[in-house]
Amino acid sequence: MKVYTKTGDRGKTSLFDGTRVYKNNPRVETYGTIDELNSVLGIITAEIQETNNEKHKYKEKMKIELIEIQKNLFEIGAELANPNAPENPKLMNQLKIHTEQLENYIDTLTIQMPELTNFILPGGGKTGSFLQLARTVSRRAERNIVALLQKEVVEKEILIYINRLSDVFHTMSRYANFEENKEETIWISKTR
């Protein structure tokens, strides 16, 4: 089977149900951003795999969480690619459970770090920086979902889950920098 089909050469693509739409359709933009986020997480898991050692044992748990998120993102992307998808209570329950698990993970990491009292600039170490990139892409995915749900039905658990991802990526970034003794730069406004 060839990778290229030439069916998109005029700016259109097919949704899961066969409907042809322009590639900048809000639904395509939404699941495309979910796919982009999944790819960023692939970069992070590769980075973690390369640098996971006795000194950085925390990365194994982080990698497990990221792969679970990637699996859920594939499910969400498939759901969003089908404008006529029937209700999927199994997926919604799965997302609800994982959202709660992510909240617990955020709490577990947060209590181990110094309290955050200022805004920080994205950066620190490589893992922390990539996680901040994932945070920003998840925020864009969330904005795309909100735009889509203003026109079409989107299950609320999807929006809640994507919203929570930016929180977990921010916390993971801080924790990676904390564990690796990478300095975070405090943002101080020069105009206020």
CATH superfamily placement of domain 12-179: Cobalamin adenosyltransferase-like (1.20.1200.10)
- Across 54-174, the runs of DSSP E, i.e. the strands, are none
Tokens of 79: 């759901």
pLDDT reported for residue 104: 97
| Per-domain boundaries in the chain | 12-179
Does 192 score more than 90 pLDDT?
A: no
- The average pLDDT across 40-65 equals 86
Q: Which residues pair with 22 in a beta bridge?
A: 12
What pLDDT digit, counting tens, does each position of 72-130 carry? 999 999 999 988 888 899 999 999 999 999 999 999 999 999 888 788 878 889 999 99
C-beta separation of 58 from 112 below 8 A: no
The amino acid present at 125, given as its one-letter code, is: G
Reported as a single tens digit per residue, the pLDDT across 129-172 is: 999 999 999 999 999 999 999 999 899 999 999 999 999 999 99
In terms of Cβ atoms closer than 10 Å to its own Cβ (0-12, 13-18, 19+), residue 168 is buried
pTM, 2 dp: 0.88
Q: For the chain, what is the mean pLDDT?
A: 89
| DSSP-based three-state secondary structure for 32 | helix
